Amino acid sequence: MKKPLPRIWILATGGTISYRAVDVKQEGDFDQVRFSIDQLLPQMPEVEQAACLQAEQLFQIGSTSITDGHWLTLARRVQELLDRPDVDGVVITHGTDTMEETAFFLNLVIKSAKPVVLTGAMRPATGLCAEGPLNLLHSVLVASSPDSWGKGVLVVMDEQIFSARDVTKCSTYKVGAFGPTEYGCLGKLVRGQVYYAYAPVRPHTLASEFSLGGLEKLPKVEIVYGYSDCGATLLQAAADAGARGIVYAGTGSGILHPDVRQLYQHHHRDYPVLVRSSRIPRGGVGLNNFLDDDLHGTVAAWDFTPQKARILLKLALTQTEDVETIRKIFARY
């Protein structure tokens, strides 16, 4: 007796995977006409044969336009689907520019062991050698695999499987645009077979303390970039604009500009919670490493990129503004 196909729900949100290029050679400056998921899937018969699919166009936007409101809407729809016994996993098509951020947010708030997989494309749907169909097929295969259960939210691009926590976009134009921040990919796809080598051990999904319950909006958190002679002007502007938290993408090991250091040494209780991250993609920022965090009332980002640190700080601030508690959250996740 033939085994029934896994039941996978595709949520489409837009992005390059749905763009129509002006001509097949064009890989940038796409026009604003996009294919809906119902128009795309008939062009991808291999995808439709891989699982029992349902598809839904949730948004139709470029990922630079994603807001906190979109995150909450998407997360609630994903949770609704995963709670259904007739859904075995969810695949989300998404623009690549902020895919890692959406994936990490979902990784922290979704409550299910079922697979959630994000994918996209660097070339438009009508572009020459468009890789979107293969990425979507691979994502459906990963979402269909029993080995994907319990691994948190995943990103599948260019035949690689990444944890939402540890993936980043590392090229502005290459097809292989995604890579790991510090710890490598979890697995890969070879000739349509899903292979895992590792599993995430940091809290996610069911083990995360964060949830969508009662969450109507997220606290405002800004990122301020550190550079030579930057001063504290942008940080002050973020504080004046009502930010409850600030992630400082510092030089080196999260080193603060002297003006910022002076401000937080003497007045940190009057300013938003400050997380020290680094503009350098690897290495991380340890507690009291190159700066006395206790003296300055600051939080170490550890190995989180500034954009990932911002998401974790947003969720931490939904529970507390106590700096010591937020430090423990960053160390734990």
* pLDDT value of residue 127: 82
Residues 6+ apart with CB under 8 A from 129: 123
Cα Dmax for the chain: 72
* pLDDT value of residue 43: 85
pTM: 0.96
**Rounded alpha-carbon distances, angstroms, from residue 175 to 17, 121, 143, 164, 301:** 12, 8, 22, 19, 29
Position 64, amino acid: T
* pLDDT value of residue 105: 98
Catalytic residue numbers? 16
Nearest to 279 by CA among 246, 258, 235, 249: 249
DSSP string, 164-181: GGGEEE--SS-SS-EEES
In the numeric block, which tokens belong to residue 300? Answer: 């170490």
DSSP string, 32-66: S-B--HHHHGGG-HHHHHHSEEEEEEEEEE-GGG-
* pLDDT value of residue 3: 78
**Structure confidence by residue, pLDDT tens digits, 270-323:** 999 999 999 999 999 999 999 999 999 999 999 999 999 999 999 999 999 999
* pLDDT value of residue 274: 98
Residues 6+ apart with CB under 8 A from 136: 10, 17, 44, 47, 91, 93, 119
In the numeric block, which tokens belong to residue 257? Answer: 């500009």
Q: Which domains does the chain have, with CATH numbers?
A: 7-207 (3.40.50.1170), 221-332 (3.40.50.40)
Task: Determine the Cα–Cα distance for residues 21 and 250; give it in Å rounded to an integer.
Answer: 38
Q: Is 33 exposed, middle or buried (0-12, 13-18, 19+ CB in 10 A)?
A: exposed
- The tens place of each residue's pLDDT in the chain, 333 residues long, gives 567 899 999 999 999 999 877 666 655 555 566 889 999 998 888 888 899 999 999 999 999 999 999 999 999 999 999 999 999 999 999 999 999 999 999 999 999 999 999 999 999 888 888 898 999 999 999 999 999 999 999 999 999 999 999 999 999 999 999 999 989 999 999 999 999 999 999 999 999 999 999 899 999 999 999 999 999 999 999 999 999 999 999 999 999 999 999 999 999 999 999 999 999 999 999 999 999 999 999 999 999 999 999 999 999 999 999 999 999 999 999
Position 163, amino acid: S
Nearest to 286 by CA among 296, 276, 295, 297: 276
